[in-house]
Structure 1
Amino acid sequence: MRRLFETRPGDTGLPGPQRRWALLVLVMGTLMAVFDGGIVNIALPTLARELNVSESRVVWITNVYQLVSASSLLAFAALSRLLGRHRLYIGGLAVFTVASLACALAPGFAWLVGARVVQGLGAAAMLSIGPSMYRVIFPPRLLGSAIGIGALVVAFGIAFGPSLGGGILYLASWPWLFAINVPIGIAALLLALRALPREAPEAGRFDWPGALLSAGMVSTFVLALDQLGHGGLHLVALAPLATSLACLAGFIRRQRRAATPLVPLAMFHEARFSYAATISMCAFIAQGAAFVGLPFLFQSVMERSPLESAALFTPWPLALMVTGPLAGRLADRFNPAVISSLGLVLFLAGMLSLALLGEDTTLGHVVWRVALCGIGYGLFQAPNNRELLGGVPMAYSANASGVMASVRTFGQAVGTALVGLVLALSLGASESPVGSLTLALWLGVATVSLALALSLRRIPLARHAR
């Protein structure tokens, strides 16, 4: 950690001591945005009871946050070039903080859902450009280590968000789930105004048609996946899927013609970037399938309690927290594609071992398999993100950051839908759900295998770029 704040001759970015405070701002913003999902998810039964709404309606407190965030990531990444990343990040942080206060003061369900829409916009503004700011704050020799810290922060938020939410509900009422963001957000805002590096905005116009097509493409795609996961293949799911494909075709056409496109397609001519984005998508599909499938496997098949299931799953993010920063440091010294490929090998081994689990598996056998997935994913993520961000010119770094956040969202959504779709299609077809859940994990194995094949193929490209 100390080496991140040491200054050497020729270093770009901020001077060593200033990096510490800028990094703290990014950590605080990312933690709030990531925590917010896990904290609220665990409180949905409480919110349904106290707000007097059905369980089918209360899930929109979570869904609308995710839908709005996913739909606006690419737009905010492009907007940051016209406003300056520091202005957009500070604005997103301010919006998120004010919206958190509005959530805490919500008198009813409709108010809370509306405030969550605004909160999702603030979160998207931060998450869309946060990773690219590492490239402005740190010199290239430390980029992998800095991105590793970012991976650790996300893992920490995923691992301990539900526990924090449960603790808050045990000690206080549900508004404190959102009120806790307010003092943290104010402190982060005051620090951001002093610590974040300033950038001059670029000339150009914002691509509003592209932004609308992007939002339509993503939102209808996420809705289609949600419908597929709940009811299988039917017209209600196929209609938004067709709409998403139509928006995708219109979006690509628009990006080819726009003077200042939302996503410069020239980025995808950079092989390192395209490989890293595709590999990231495949890995997040597998992770999403595992994150949803394993709790079902632990509780429905192995008959473990929710608390035991949470404990069985915890080795994954804990292992990622340890290996993420290490992988970042290794990526600064060696070929990132090699480190990332090694992580995918371990991740594949872990997914294979999970797919081979049976109903009578002991707890010890589960723990090492889950931990192996976390170790592999931790070794993979930071070096791959380094390739994704470093594979394009600095002028495209904000757009690359938006793509990185988008493929993460898409991948997790696809992985989640795969589990739901397999369960829906096999409902009543077998006496035990173990076969369906195993199939979902095998689909995850297939996507990791594809990611590994692509990662091995890109190794010469990464070596030549160093």
Structure 2
Amino acid sequence: MRLDPATRRIAAVVVVGALLSLLDGTMVGVGLETIARDLGAGLAGAQWVAHGYLLALAVSLPACGWLARRIGAGRLWLLALAGFTLASALCAAAPTLGLLVAARVVQGLAAGLLVPAGQTLLGQAVGPRRLGRVMAVLASAVSVGPALGPVLGGLVVEGLSWPWLFLVNLPIGAAGLVAGLRVLPRGEPRPTGTLDVVGLVLAGVGLSALVYGVTAWGAAAGHRELALPLAVGALGLGLFVRRTLRHPRPLTDLRLFADRGYAAATACATLTGAALFGSLLLFPLLFQLERGASVIVTGLWLVGHGLGTAVAAPLAGRLTDRLGGARVAVAGCAGLVATTVPFALVDLGPLSTQVLLVLRGAAIGFAAVPPTVAAYAAVRPDQLPDATTQLNALQRVGGAVGGALVATVLAATLPAGTRPAFAAAFWCLTAVSVFALAGAALLVRGRVTATGR
């Protein structure tokens, strides 16, 4: 069954928000050195322009489900995009590093709401039988973001100035708001009770501390001082789970995990996220450290990876709607393993590298779309705000863990030379991909079909 024009319009508008948040996160990293120099700050301080955004994004995620129920997913998406666009203008106008970091925190808080609110809108608009197709549209559109971000960021910094890293968001955000006001359903607000502020603090602090600790652990190859944020993150999330299971009106409904199909799908999506983000960290380092490529050239190398996903995701969505998520996810994760092993075995030439990157991108499309669809199809429409919040949070944690594992192995083995170090790192990424394949097997055991059951 083809998507009707109204659904296509909703999907097109939702893609704007997702693409903006992904592009912004990757574009700004290219300009940190320039920002530090122009604002008279050190590079270590300028790193908080990136860290503040990512941590704020993690903080706002736990509140998304409650807010979507309270005011409607459509209204939440519009408010989040408006906040993101306004914060982009504040970032561009910031005269000091402190004000820039503060504006980036506001921008990250808004960005953390855009993707789950958009997924909730799409899920409620199409129902379970066409969910694969519409989620694939979102996946294919945003898959090129991590690859295009460094290229666009480098061109902006070299040709214009760093404020334009944020100013480019303004016309896109304004166009998205105008289109959203015209085509997005606002959603029906439902009684939610009082916001569980204690639960929100525990979840926000726990999730952001854990993501920061795991990410920084990989980058620093396991510095002891990072044990504190890891411990704070684990404790905060543990207390959040305990409180949520006992609260009469919890921030998010963790009882969704009692459904075997939903639990299997979220586990698979988390493990697939680890494999995806591990590769997004490792491949740029391969091109820059071993092959001496610039940031812009590295981004161009990775465009094929994103295009492979963009082409494969719609097909994966149609197959998921027709055959169910389990078999499609197993095929995709097996493809991840098969396209990672060659990088660990030999030093590939340019043509072989590009062919494998395209194939690996296609495998990601087949691996990532089915578990997401299966998770959302396993719940009722009124439970989608909770499901999108939980899945996005778990994918963020999984991505941080995957990146940290690969980075730790690479840093520990670099003294032996770049080739042995990258071989070890790619074997680690292969192991992560094997775990993702095991997660896909959980979908088979859970007997998750096209409708999630």
**Is 2:402 aligned against 1:415?**
yes
The amino acid that maps onto 1:232 is A
| Alpha-carbon displacement from aligned partner over 1:271-304 (angstroms, at most 9, x marks no partner) | 1211111111112212222221222223323444
Using a 3 Å threshold, how does the CA distance of structure 1 residues 321 and 332 change in structure 2: closer, same or farther? same
**Is 2:437 aligned against 1:459?**
no
- Write the distance in 2 (CA, Å) between the matches of 1:151 and 1:437: 28
- Write the distance in 2 (CA, Å) between the matches of 1:25 and 1:307: 28
**Is 2:36 aligned against 1:48?**
yes
| 1:248 matched residue in structure 2 | 237
The amino acid that maps onto 1:95 is G
- Write the distance in 2 (CA, Å) between the matches of 1:419 and 1:139: 38
| 2:161 matched residue in structure 1 | 173
| Alpha-carbon displacement from aligned partner over 1:249-292 (angstroms, at most 9, x marks no partner) | 21111011111212212110111211111111112212222221
| 1:125 matched residue in structure 2 | 113
Q: Secondary structure at the match of 1:59?
A: helix
- Check the 8 A contact 1:77/1:401 in 2, yes or no: yes
| 1:4 matched residue in structure 2 | 3
**Is 2:275 aligned against 1:286?**
yes
| Alpha-carbon displacement from aligned partner over 1:10-60 (angstroms, at most 9, x marks no partner) | xxxxxxx43233222201111111111122111122212211211111111
The amino acid that maps onto 1:83 is I
- Write the distance in 2 (CA, Å) between the matches of 1:342 and 1:424: 32
The worse-fitting range, judged by mean Cα deviation, of 37-46 and 157-166 is 157-166
Using a 3 Å threshold, how does the CA distance of structure 1 residues 100 and 234 change in structure 2: closer, same or farther? closer
Using a 3 Å threshold, how does the CA distance of structure 1 residues 159 and 108 change in structure 2: closer, same or farther? same
- Check the 8 A contact 1:284/1:408 in 2, yes or no: yes
Using a 3 Å threshold, how does the CA distance of structure 1 residues 298 and 189 change in structure 2: closer, same or farther? closer
- Write the distance in 2 (CA, Å) between the matches of 1:243 and 1:462: 35
Percent of pairs with identical residues: 32
Q: Secondary structure at the match of 2:2?
A: helix
- Write the distance in 2 (CA, Å) between the matches of 1:462 and 1:230: 37
**Is 2:350 aligned against 1:363?**
yes
Q: Secondary structure at the match of 2:448?
A: helix
| 1:79 matched residue in structure 2 | 67
Q: Secondary structure at the match of 1:309?
A: helix
Provide structure 1 residue ranges, at least 5 long, that are not aligned to the other structure: 6-16
Using a 3 Å threshold, how does the CA distance of structure 1 residues 42 and 303 change in structure 2: closer, same or farther? closer
**Is 2:405 aligned against 1:425?**
no
| Alpha-carbon displacement from aligned partner over 1:324-361 (angstroms, at most 9, x marks no partner) | 11111111111221111111111110112222233xx3
The amino acid that maps onto 1:273 is Y
Give the alignment partner of residue 299 of structure 1, picking from 280, 288, 302: 288
| 1:37 matched residue in structure 2 | 25
**Is 2:217 aligned against 1:232?**
no
Q: How far does residue 165 in structure 1 lie from its aligned partner after superposition?
A: 2.0
- Write the distance in 2 (CA, Å) between the matches of 1:304 and 1:60: 25
- Check the 8 A contact 1:312/1:366 in 2, yes or no: no
- Check the 8 A contact 2:316/2:365 in 1, yes or no: yes
Q: How far does residue 140 in structure 1 lie from its aligned partner after superposition?
A: 3.0
| Alpha-carbon displacement from aligned partner over 1:154-185 (angstroms, at most 9, x marks no partner) | 11222212222233334422212211212222
| 1:345 matched residue in structure 2 | 334
Q: Secondary structure at the match of 1:107?
A: coil
Q: How far does residue 227 in structure 1 lie from its aligned partner after superposition?
A: 3.3
The amino acid that maps onto 1:218 is L
- Check the 8 A contact 2:36/2:43 in 1, yes or no: yes
Q: How far does residue 215 in structure 1 lie from its aligned partner after superposition?
A: 0.9
Q: How far does residue 305 in structure 1 lie from its aligned partner after superposition?
A: 4.6
- Write the distance in 1 (CA, Å) between the matches of 2:295 and 2:240: 43
The worse-fitting range, judged by mean Cα deviation, of 62-71 and 220-229 is 220-229
Using a 3 Å threshold, how does the CA distance of structure 1 residues 218 and 354 change in structure 2: closer, same or farther? same
Using a 3 Å threshold, how does the CA distance of structure 1 residues 167 and 305 change in structure 2: closer, same or farther? closer
Q: How far does residue 87 in structure 1 lie from its aligned partner after superposition?
A: 1.8
- Check the 8 A contact 1:343/1:376 in 2, yes or no: yes
Q: Show the 5 A alignment for 1:34-433.
A: 34-203=22-191, 204-358=193-347, 361-426=348-413, 428=415, 430=416, 432-433=417-418
- Check the 8 A contact 1:336/1:386 in 2, yes or no: yes
Q: How far does residue 151 in structure 1 lie from its aligned partner after superposition?
A: 0.3
RMSD: 2.0
State the TM-score, normalizing by the size of structure 2: 0.94
Q: Secondary structure at the match of 1:174?
A: coil
The amino acid that maps onto 1:324 is A
- Write the distance in 2 (CA, Å) between the matches of 1:186 and 1:280: 32
Q: How far does residue 419 in structure 1 lie from its aligned partner after superposition?
A: 2.8
Q: How far does residue 64 in structure 1 lie from its aligned partner after superposition?
A: 0.6
| 1:444 matched residue in structure 2 | 429
Q: Secondary structure at the match of 2:143?
A: helix
Using a 3 Å threshold, how does the CA distance of structure 1 residues 254 and 346 change in structure 2: closer, same or farther? same
- Write the distance in 2 (CA, Å) between the matches of 1:407 and 1:391: 17
The worse-fitting range, judged by mean Cα deviation, of 308-317 and 66-75 is 308-317
The amino acid that maps onto 1:372 is L
Q: How far does residue 409 in structure 1 lie from its aligned partner after superposition?
A: 1.6
Using a 3 Å threshold, how does the CA distance of structure 1 residues 166 and 232 change in structure 2: closer, same or farther? closer
Q: Secondary structure at the match of 1:206?
A: coil
Q: How far does residue 307 in structure 1 lie from its aligned partner after superposition?
A: 4.5
- Write the distance in 2 (CA, Å) between the matches of 1:158 and 1:191: 25
- Write the distance in 2 (CA, Å) between the matches of 1:147 and 1:270: 21
The amino acid that maps onto 1:404 is L
- Check the 8 A contact 1:419/1:437 in 2, yes or no: no
- Check the 8 A contact 1:340/1:379 in 2, yes or no: yes
- Write the distance in 2 (CA, Å) between the matches of 1:161 and 1:228: 24
- Write the distance in 2 (CA, Å) between the matches of 1:370 and 1:192: 35
Q: How far does residue 308 in structure 1 lie from its aligned partner after superposition?
A: 4.2
- Count residues with an aligned counterpart: 450
